[in-house]
Amino acid sequence: MENSTDPFANRRVVVMTAGGTNPQAVINVLATRFPGLAVIQERPESKSVLVKRRARRVGWINALGQLATMVVSRLGKSALKRRTAEILAEHKLSAEPVPAIETVHVPSLNDPACYAAVARLQPAVILTVSCRLLSRQTLGKIPCPIINLHAGINPMYRGQAGGYWALAKGDPGNFGATLHLVDAGVDTGDTLYEVRATPGKGDSMMTYPLLLTAAALPWAIRAIEDALEGRLAPRKAQGASAMHDNPPIWTWIWNGITKGLW
């Protein structure tokens, strides 16, 4: 863009994601703020791969219980669709794909095809949202800062369903999201920004991530601007570190019945 007064017009921002409503809403906002934004999109991991990996960590019973929760919780698709539309409207967001945004499709963000895309795009900063863990090899191929938008407050609610677990543990003050630098761990990189939010009566485990993503968007923009201007100020996250997965179905049903937390 010639003669632009935007200081970031010639600095490439790249989003890495597996796709979906939440990342698309992020991408659409960032594309209006950072000209030349590009996306590297991987294929989502199959449920069988996810279950096998979790089974190695938490056992088959818990892994299958977590899968059952995701299957059953999606049965209320009409209510989920309605609440999703409300959140998008409340935050003036769109999750419709924009063909004009350059998107590079790769099998995995840990695949050589992704490395080639990074080398070609030469990003000044990368934002990851809703994607798999980047391997050490991948991190070694990326020379710029990598920022993750995590729908949970680190380090207490690393991993999956951070908002849900904050509420389930009676910690609504930490229902929030974190912008943090990416390292080889699961949401263990130094914190850049935190934001808290309040869920509505119509929200559930299925809508908490979108609600938190929407609340975190202004801070994601600020973190990217910090990276482009060389003023990132990471700090160690405070609190007891805990890794979480989606709740197994028996836990989800119990919390739903006893706490109204679905």
Which pLDDT tens digit goes with each residue over 96-153? Answer: 999 999 999 999 999 999 999 999 999 999 999 999 999 999 999 999 999 999 999 9
d(CA 40, CA 109): 8
The answer to whether 132 and 45 have CB atoms below 8 angstroms apart is yes
Q: CA dist 233 to 13, 138, 154, 225, Å?
A: 19, 23, 16, 12
Tally of structural domains, the chain: 1
Does residue 6 belong to any structural domain of this protein?
Answer: no
Provide the 3-class DSSP secondary structure of residue 14. strand
Strands 13-17, 125-128: parallel, antiparallel or unpaired by DSSP?
A: parallel
Does residue 232 belong to any structural domain of this protein?
Answer: yes
What's residue 62's pLDDT? 92
What's residue 10's pLDDT? 59
Grade residue 2 by pLDDT with cuts at 50, 70 and 90.
very low
What's residue 4's pLDDT? 47
Does residue 74 belong to any structural domain of this protein?
Answer: yes
Which pLDDT tens digit goes with each residue over 25-70? Answer: 999 999 999 999 999 999 998 888 888 888 988 899 999 999 999 8
User: Across the chain, how many H-helices and E-strands are there?
Assistant: 9, 9
Does residue 222 belong to any structural domain of this protein?
Answer: yes
Does residue 77 belong to any structural domain of this protein?
Answer: yes
The answer to whether 211 and 163 have CB atoms below 8 angstroms apart is yes
Averaged confidence pLDDT in the chain: 93
d(CA 91, CA 211): 9
Strands 146-150, 158-159: parallel, antiparallel or unpaired by DSSP?
A: unpaired
| Residue 86 predicted with pLDDT over 60 | yes
Q: What is the extent of the structural domain holding 32?
A: 13-259
* Residues of the chain above pLDDT 70, percent: 96
| Contacts of 198 by beta carbon, 8 Å cutoff, 6+ apart | 172, 175
* Residues of the chain above pLDDT 90, percent: 86
Which pLDDT tens digit goes with each residue over 171-201? Answer: 999 999 999 999 999 999 999 999 999 999 8
Top-confidence residue, 3 or 217: 217
Does residue 8 belong to any structural domain of this protein?
Answer: no
What's residue 206's pLDDT? 93
Grade residue 76 by pLDDT with cuts at 50, 70 and 90.
confident
Give me the CATH number covering residue 109: 3.40.50.12230
Which pLDDT tens digit goes with each residue over 211-233? Answer: 999 999 999 999 999 999 999 99
Does residue 55 belong to any structural domain of this protein?
Answer: yes
Does residue 210 belong to any structural domain of this protein?
Answer: yes
Q: CA dist 9 to 2, 24, 34, 100, 145, Å?
A: 9, 21, 6, 16, 18
